[in-house]
Amino acid sequence: MKATHMLPGARCQQLATSRSQLRPSAIPSPPPPPQTLIYRLSTQLRSAAPRVVVAGNDSSSPDEEQISNPDPHPATALAQHRFWETQPVRQFKDGLGPSLVEGPIEQPTPVDAVKQEPYNLPALYEWTTCDMDDDRTCAEVCNLLRDNYVVNEASTFRLSFSKEFLRWALCPPGYFKSWHIGVRVKATQKLVSFITGVPSRIRVRREVVRMAEVNLLCVHKKLRSKRLAPVMIKELTRRAHLENVWQAAYTGGLLLPTPIATCRYWHRSLNPKKLVDVRFYRLGPRMTMSRAVKLHRLPEAIVTLGFRKMELADVPAITKLLRGFLSQFFIAADLDEKDVEHWLLPVENVVDSYVVQKPGTNELTDFCSFYTLSSSILNNQNHSVLKAAYSLYNVSTKTPLHQLVNDALIVAKKEDHDVFNALDIMHNHAFLDKLKFGPGDWRRHYYLYNYRIPFALRSPALGLVLL
């Protein structure tokens, strides 16, 4: 699970938004519209309640019509990548098709053959392992990210991580401290770069693969474009290999070789007035503030009988519900009870989960969850923080999905979130329009490292939220 992220893969996309009634203004200009299979298929898909999720079907080989669709990322149109062209990832020039083998690209070596020494850094810098339990180190990481992590193009918002959030995101069951990697200036000990991985199990089709979920890659603004990022990535890769982990999952807004799927953030305004004030939204020509407020008004009380906050005792039932739900996606998180306890049990201002308990019984029928991540609002006199909720996993077996998520919107609003974000993955497309989410401008690419999927997946094929 993760992220990047949400978030954070290129998190700026979370900050960009448009909607027919509320239009973006100074928010990032969209990348060129992808003339892609993914895009066309996901559009078609909205009308066609998908159960499955390969760009085509769920049989082991996609049919002719599906594989003859154009490659979403034809090699001729794309930039060269000095670093990525050397890595075990599907290259743009490989194209797509059944002749390519699905699965690991490189085979593992014995762990004792893995390079034992860290990669070289320029002489002024040194490696550090960031102990997130240590308050001072954790604060240093927060500060590095606060000043240097993802901003939107107009530089009006920057993602802002609390210590609690970082500990939740970086210390799941079985995590490796050695995967929380920093670089310091030797002379001053200032932290200037960071990258993290957390261990996870991800099922791709029928294979459950141990992976690192990589996130929070950050290089200090003054050290950009000096090829430090590839060294950070190689060092994390080396440390993952030392733990016998040979695959990774990550997301980002940058187009690199080669996404397994591309999805988009949708935004549901909870506090339209503030969102307009801080220029997250711009009112469309036929929209007034009072109409926008009215349009986005939510009921005061939740609608679903038996809707309540998740508790520790719910973990086994929720794990079962979630595993059943996730089994239908081509690629999905493989979560056990320990994972569910860590990732989904509520932590104030970090993660919220709600269950629906059938009245008069112990049966849990439905589940919804979101995490909280704020952004600093730069250069605004009235507001300094934008509080956003990000949809995690929503499972409905009895309550209609849109009703369940509407109740999540109501509780998120009560907890002072300004906006509720959701990716168009899993079954989310089924509630986005209905609940007045608007599509954001930026896309988020999902990647696998050292694992080839030889066809394009539609975003509803993804049963995996990376932070």
Ligand X SMILES: CCCCCCCCCCCCCC(=O)SCCNC(=O)CCNC(=O)[C@H](O)C(C)(C)COP(=O)(O)OP(=O)(O)OC[C@H]1O[C@@H](n2cnc3c(N)ncnc32)[C@H](O)[C@@H]1OP(=O)(O)O
Q: Which residues bind ligand X (CB under 6 A)?
A: 4, 8-10, 81-84, 148-150, 197, 212, 214-219, 224-230, 233, 236-237, 240, 245-248, 250, 252, 254, 256, 449-450
Q: Between 215 and 369, whose beta carbon lies closer to ligand X?
A: 215
Query: Given the complex with ligand X, which of 16 and 435 has the nearer CB atom?
Result: 16
CB of 454 to ligand X, least distance (A): 19
* Cβ at position 15, least distance to ligand X in Å: 12
Note the residue count of the chain: 467
- Is 236 a catalytic site residue? no
Angle separating helix axes 337-344 and 315-326, nearest 10 degrees: 100
| Beta carbon nearer to ligand X, 14 or 319 | 14
Distance from C-alpha of 333 to C-alpha of 28, rounded to nearest angstrom = 30
Q: Of 228 and 260, which has the nearer Cβ to ligand X?
A: 228
Q: Among residues 404, 423, 457, 467, which one is catalytic?
A: 467
Phi/psi zone of residue 56: left (φ > 0), alpha (ψ -120 to 50 degrees), beta?
Answer: left
Q: Name the residue among 449, 465, 466 with its Cα closest to residue 90.
A: 449
The single residue listed with the structure tokens 């849990």 is: 364
For residues 255 and 356, which CB has a smaller minimum distance to ligand X in the complex? 255
| Residue number with CB closer to ligand X (237 or 369) | 237
Dihedral sign (CA 84, 89, 94, 96): negative
Q: Active-site residues: which are they?
A: 467
